[in-house]
Amino acid sequence: MELYRNSLRITLSVWKALLLREALARLFSSRGAWFWLVGEPVAHMAVLGLIYAGIRQRTIGGIDTLIWLVLGVQGFFLFRRTAGQMAGAIDSNRALFSYRQVLPIDTVLMRGVLEATLMTAVMAVILFGLVMMGHDIRPADPLRVLFAFIGLWLLGVAMGLIVSALSELVPEARQIIDLTMRPLYFVSGVLFSVGSVAPPYRDWFLLNPVLHGIDSLREGFSPYYHGVPGVSMGYLYDCAFIGIFIGLLLHRRFADLMVTR
């Protein structure tokens, strides 16, 4: 073995080891854990789809209802799972900090990367299912869809970084995720079109960056989609990058406290 490795090589090998370790835990920790990765969002969509497409209407804002729903649910799940998984990373990897190469931020970041990978696979499965059901899944503006997904993921990363750092300082911070996720689900336009909200209140909804991501997804899918006026991807990215900056800052500042206890 060569005597000394440089810091970058150490970090890269730690990342690889953590990624594989997390993937194992995420896919096989309990019976059928891998199934529920796809099963949870699909069940979610199935119930909503039944209500919306079956009972209410064929299209929402000029776009296939099922596609509209799938994009909303997947976009939101991508954000929520990334944030939630990253927030719990330090706690579930505490045993591994007895190796000095492994830093808290490594575990948090790798969970984010893993979640992006898994959600891509989940999305592929779901899109395949939609094709089989005879829906047109070709987006009008694929790049816009891609950037909206990436933006939502980055926003999840930002939230995950901040909450994971804060929860080491204030143990109650984990509750923030549970507390904010539920109302966030309702104000993000997953279930209803925020465009149908009357103007003075709509502006309040527009403060929520997740909504911008989800409606950008839908706009990218169909040029005829008339969603919420004032949606901008720039706002989503601004929020994500500011959040990531704050999260990294917290991790840098309080790194010592996190392993020490």
Binding interface with another protein (CB under 8 A): 1, 3, 5, 9-10, 13-14, 16-17, 20-21, 24-25, 29, 93-102, 256-257, 259-261
Q: What is the nearest approach in angstroms of another protein to the Cβ of residue 85?
A: 15
Q: How many CB atoms lie within 10 A of CB 107?
A: 25
Residue with token string 């969970």: 111
**Of 176, 42, 24, nearest in space to 119 by CA:** 42
15 contacts 106 by C-beta, under 8 angstroms: yes
Of 91 and 203, the one with the shorter C-beta distance to another protein is 91
Say which residues have a Cβ less than 8 Å from residue 137's Cβ, sequence separation at least 6.
67, 127, 130, 131
Nearer residue to another protein within complex by CB, 115 or 168: 168
- Give the whole-angstrom CA distance, residue 215 versus residue 80: 16
Nearer to another protein, 13 or 196 (CB): 13
Contact 74, 126 (CB under 8 A): yes
Q: Which residues contact 228 (CB under 8 A, 6 or more apart)?
A: 189, 193, 194, 195, 202, 205, 206, 211, 215
- Residue number with CB closer to another protein (7 or 57): 7
Least distance from another protein to the Cβ atom of residue 103, Å: 11
C-beta of 17 vs 130, nearer to another protein: 17
CB of 24 or CB of 124, closer to another protein: 24
The region, left, alpha or beta by phi > 0 then psi within -120 to 50, assigned to residue 32 is left
Cβ 241 to another protein, closest distance in Å? 29
3-state class (DSSP) for residue 62: coil
Q: How far apart are the first and last CA of the chain?
A: 33
Report the nearest approach of another protein to the CB of residue 111 (Å).
14
**Considering the complex, what minimum distance in angstroms separates the CB of residue 135 from another protein?**
38
Minimum distance of another protein from residue 172's CB (angstroms): 14
Query: CB of 159: closest distance to another protein in angstroms?
Result: 25
The full length of the chain comes to 261
Is the CB of 6 or the CB of 57 nearer to another protein? Answer: 6
